Amino acid sequence: MNFISLLKKIFLLKKEKTTADDLMKKFLIVGLGNIGDNYQNTRHNIGFTILDELAKNKELNFENEKLGAVSKFRFKGRTFVLLKPSTYMNLSGKSIKYWLTKENIPLENLLIICDDLNLPFGSIRVKAKGSDGGHNGLKDVNAILQTQKYARFRFGVGAEFSKGKQCNFVLGDWSSDELKLLPERLTKATELIISFGLAGLNNTMNAFNGK
């Protein structure tokens, strides 16, 4: 092997290593929700709301792209891709799979944010895997990705509804009391997202679960 060929081989090896390192530093953060003004401030759209809060803090705008609204930013060597699927809640999997593939992001760097009726309002629960728990958005994600092994961030919306009124409750607006407490909870949620990228899933679970 001549000197020029050796240099080319070294360069290619370095390039491949850099690419692999870069992939592990890129994260897809998905907020589940429904598009349209009618859903904007509803409990079911907390995923969208949290990403909107983070984008506002970072002075970012979302751009309407294929299968979702997307915004990106870099922070401390990490790249965060924020996605609000435009496929409606119950068909979220198609958008998530597309953006994982397009951005070449490994499954372990995916975090999905959704509402949870089984948690009190404002409660935070981060898990590394699990069933859909009756959440139709997660049910579709599980089916499309063919796995339950991805990180999910469940935000408690409570269950203050009478029998048969679950749908009206999750698709309803926040109460006045909830709106007073929501800003602090949104701040905590955005901190969690940054922690997921910088500190990793296990450290994030230890730091935020139950807070």
Which pLDDT does position 106 carry in this prediction? 97
- Cα–Cα nearest to 156, from 191, 113, 199, 197: 113
- pLDDT (0 to 100) of residue 20: 57
Q: How many percent of the chain have pLDDT more than 90?
A: 81
Per-residue pLDDT band at 19 (split at 50, 70, 90): low
Mean pLDDT of 96-108: 97
11 pLDDT band, cuts 50/70/90, is low
Q: What is the mean pLDDT of the chain?
A: 91
Query: Confidence class of residue 210 from pLDDT cuts 50, 70 and 90?
Result: confident
Which residue, 84, 85, 33, is CA-closest to 55? Answer: 84
pLDDT score at 201 = 97
pLDDT digits (tens, 9 = 90+) for 180-206: 999 999 999 999 999 999 999 999 999
Interval 4-27 mean pLDDT:
60
What is the pLDDT at residue 4? 55
Q: Please report, rounded to a whole number, the percentage of residues in the chain having pLDDT higher than 70.
A: 89
With CA atoms as reference, report the closest residue to 92 among 167, 43, 28, 42: 28
DSSP states along 2-23: -HHHHHHHHHHHHHHHHHHHHH
Please check the confidence at residue 12 and state whether its pLDDT lies above 70.
no
Is the separation of the CB atoms in 45 and 67 below 8 Å?
A: no
**Which residues, including other chains, have CB under 8 Å from residue 161's CB and lie 6 or more apart?**
168, 169
Query: So what's the pLDDT on residue 162?
Result: 75
Active site residues: 44
- Domains belonging to the chain, first-starting first, are 3-208 (3.40.50.1470)
The answer, yes or no, to whether residue 15 has pLDDT greater than 80, is no
Predicted pLDDT at 109: 98
**Beta strand pairing call for 26-31 and 110-116:** parallel
pLDDT in tens, 114-168: 999 999 999 999 999 999 888 999 999 999 999 999 999 999 999 888 777 889 9
The pTM assigned to this predicted structure is: 0.88
Please report which confidence band the pLDDT of residue 208 belongs to, taking 50, 70 and 90 as the band edges.
Answer: very high
Residue 7 has pLDDT above 50, yes or no: no
